[in-house]
Amino acid sequence: MNKLTVSDVTLTFGGLNALTSVNMTIEPGLITSIIGPNGAGKTSMLNCVSGFYHPTSGEIHYGEHRLTHSSPHEISILGIARAFQNLELFRGLSVLDNLLLARHKHLDYSFLSAFFYTPKTSRIEAENRAFVEDIIDFMELEPYRKQLVGNLSYGVQKRVEVARALTLGPELLLLDEPMAGMNIEEKEDIVRFIMDIKQERNTTVVLVEHDLGVVMDISDQIYVLDFGELIGSGTPEAVSKNERVIEAYIGEE
């Protein structure tokens, strides 16, 4: 598993810094949370790591791979997947079809092989279908597998969003507010899935989340942003005692 290193990353939009000289090290096999007030730059950081934005300056490396100016497609090939804050699912397709579509980069056969449905094509299709079925079982989506995504509850759709990212078979999973808009029961389910993703699938998780209770309970390390600047980092215990974090994010009595 690779380490993700963010070195002096600055991201500028029209003279306004969304991120300013941010440094982070995401250790493999851990759950790392990025927290901060609205507009702190959390999603901007995920956008830089996943290739949707390119930093104005600074470097991003995943192991020996330089991600700084890579495209989302190139980054996904390296084993980095992302679940979005705003649902990016095909609402007119079933849960199963949404997840099968996410496996397209693993369909390693030619057009002619697909046209004649050769034994190689059949084998690859079967392998990818089995992988998707395993994700459906892991995320407890079996009751919904044939249902149109647009007909499902918001909480289940968020779970499908996470499942689609997992379908890429990532080593590093970026989760952008996966619990936003959920009730307590739905949040508990997602927390359980995140812990299982780390432990059972041996996946590094980067979590952007506003629920401090959840962040403190499940994170191995935390980075705190405020107005695009890194103001604190460390274990949950250390961050909870950081005076700058208390002032900017948690608040004082």
Instruction: Please report which confidence band the pLDDT of residue 252 belongs to, taking 50, 70 and 90 as the band edges.
Output: low
- The whole-chain average pLDDT of the chain stands at 89
Residue 121 scores a pLDDT above 80: no
Q: Out of 118, 146, 169, pick the residue that ends a domain.
A: 169
How confident is the model at residue 250, as a pLDDT? Answer: 57
pLDDT digits (tens, 9 = 90+) for 174-233: 999 999 888 889 999 999 999 999 999 999 999 998 888 899 999 999 999 999 999 999
Same domain? 208 vs 222: yes
Nearest Cα to Cα of residue 160 among 206, 95, 205: 95
Same domain? 182 vs 73: yes
Same domain? 25 vs 65: yes
How confident is the model at residue 1, as a pLDDT? Answer: 80
Same domain? 175 vs 225: yes
Residue 94 scores a pLDDT above 90: yes
Q: Which two tokens mark 119?
A: 């034994």
Q: Out of 169, 184, 204, pick the residue that ends a domain.
A: 169
pLDDT digits (tens, 9 = 90+) for 36-55: 888 889 999 999 999 999 99
Instruction: Please report which confidence band the pLDDT of residue 153 belongs to, taking 50, 70 and 90 as the band edges.
Output: very high
- The residue segments making up the domain with residue 93 are 88-169
Same domain? 175 vs 250: yes
Nearest Cα to Cα of residue 103 among 70, 81, 87: 81
Residue 158 scores a pLDDT above 80: yes
pLDDT digits (tens, 9 = 90+) for 200-209: 999 999 999 8
Same domain? 54 vs 95: no
Residue with tokens 């991201």: 11
pTM score, two decimals?
A: 0.88
3-state secondary structure 31-86: EEEEECCCCCCHHHHHHHHHCCCCCCEEEEEECCEECCCCCHHHHHHCCEEEECCC
How confident is the model at residue 244, as a pLDDT? Answer: 87
Report the CATH number that the domain containing residue 248 is assigned in CATH. Answer: 3.40.50.300
How confident is the model at residue 10, as a pLDDT? Answer: 96
Same domain? 102 vs 223: no
Q: Answer whether 223's CB lies under 8 Å from 33's CB.
A: yes
Same domain? 95 vs 162: yes
DSSP string, 132-190: HHHHHHHTT-GGGTTSBGGGS-HHHHHHHHHHHHHHT--SEEEEESTTTT--HHHHHHH
Give the separation between CA 165 and CA 207, rounded to whole angstroms. 13
Judged by average pLDDT, the poorest of 32-41, 47-56, 106-115 is 106-115
CA distances to 1, 41, 78, 191, 194 from 46, in Å: 19, 9, 16, 20, 17
How confident is the model at residue 119, as a pLDDT? Answer: 75
How confident is the model at residue 106, as a pLDDT? Answer: 62
Same domain? 115 vs 177: no
Same domain? 122 vs 46: no
Same domain? 177 vs 248: yes
Q: Out of 148, 169, 190, pick the residue that ends a domain.
A: 169
Same domain? 96 vs 132: yes
Mean pLDDT of 101-108: 71
Instruction: Please report which confidence band the pLDDT of residue 116 belongs to, taking 50, 70 and 90 as the band edges.
Output: low
Number of structural domains in the chain: 2
pLDDT digits (tens, 9 = 90+) for 131-149: 899 999 999 999 999 999 9
Mean pLDDT of 81-109: 82
Q: Give the residues across from 25 on adjacent strands.
A: 5
